[in-house]
Homo-oligomer: A and B are copies of this chain.
Amino acid sequence: MAETMAPRPLPGHTWYGEGQGAFSGAALALMRRLDGLFLELAAACGAEEHVFPPFLPAGALNRIDYFGSFPHLATFPVNLERDEANLAKFSCAAVDDSERVRLTAIEAPAHVLTPSACYHFYRLFEGRRFDQPVYVTTNAQCFRREDHYAPLERQWAFAMREIVCIGLAEEVEAFLAAYRVRVDALIEKIGLPARWERATDPFFNPGSNSKYVMQQLLPVKHELVYDGRLAIGSVNFHHDHFGRAFDMQRAGVPLHSGCVAFGVERWASCIVQQFGADPARWP
C-alpha cells in the first residue's frame, strides 16, 4: 500500500531520496511537538533523559549477536588509514563518475552507527548493580540500511524515542503494560487509527535464528500499526537478554529489560496522511 499510494508531502520536509531528509518550518515544529508528547509519556514513570553519541562499539553489539541477526541493516563509520601516502593517493581521485567514493586503504572499523536507541543504555549501565528499577529515555538518531526507502516511513537515518525500564521481570512487565495503556490514550487523544499487533524483528535468515523462533513462540514484541500498514511504535520485552550480556544485576540476579519505542518520522507521516498537509488542521 505504501508503494501504490503517493503519500501526502509534509510542508517543511525536504526528502533527499537517499533514505534521509531535512526539516524546517511546520515539519520541524511537528517533529518537536511529537517528541514533546513522548517526553510527557516518559515523565509518567519519572524516566531520566539521556542524549547519546552516534556510534556504538562493534564489540558491544557483537556480544548480543547483532551481526548474526541483522548484518543487512548495519552501517559502519569508516576512516581512511592515516599515513600520508594513503591520504594523498585518496585525495587525488576521491569520487568516481557516479559520485561514489573511491576508498583507498581503510582502518577496520570498531563501531556501528546506532541501530536502536536503547542499546546505549545497556552499554552505559554495563556492570552496574541496582537496588531498584531504572527508568530512562532517549531520542537517538538510528540507522538501518534497507533495500528501498520512502519519505518519513522507511529511512536510512531516523529519530527513535525510547522509554526503557531495567528491573525485575514483574517490574518490566508492569512498565510495558502501563505504557500500552498510556499509548492507547495518546492515539485516542490524537485520533489516529492504530492498533497493537504481535510482531517479530526483521532478522537475517530468520528460519535459522533462534531469537526469531523465540519471538514467534513468546509474545515479546508488539507493534502499534497505523492504518493496517505502518508500525509507528513498539513495546518490547527482552527478558534478561541484555541484563546477562551487559552484567546488570540486582541482589545477584541478572536484570530484565523492556522498552517502548516511537519512530518519530513515522508519527509525522501519520499526522499528515490522517489530517492533511495544512498544519492548522493537525490535532
Contact = CB atoms under 8 A, between A and B. Distances in A.
Interface of A: 14, 16, 18, 20-25, 28, 31, 48-55, 57-59, 62, 67-68, 71-72, 74-80, 82, 84, 87-88, 90-92, 94-96, 99-103, 108-113, 120, 124, 141, 143, 145, 147, 156-157, 204-205
7 closest pairs, A vs B, by CB? Answer: A59-B99, A67-B94, A20-B53, A100-B108, A62-B95, A71-B91, A24-B50
Contact of A51 (B24, B51, B110): B24
B95 A103 contact: no
A124 B18 CA distance: 14
13 contacts: A23-B50, A31-B51, A54-B157, A55-B157, A59-B95, A67-B95, A72-B80, A74-B79, A76-B79, A84-B205, A100-B108, A102-B108, A103-B109
A240 to B, nearest CB: 23
Contacts of A157: 53-55
Nearest to A32: B51
A58 to B, nearest CB: 5
A143 B55 CA distance: 11
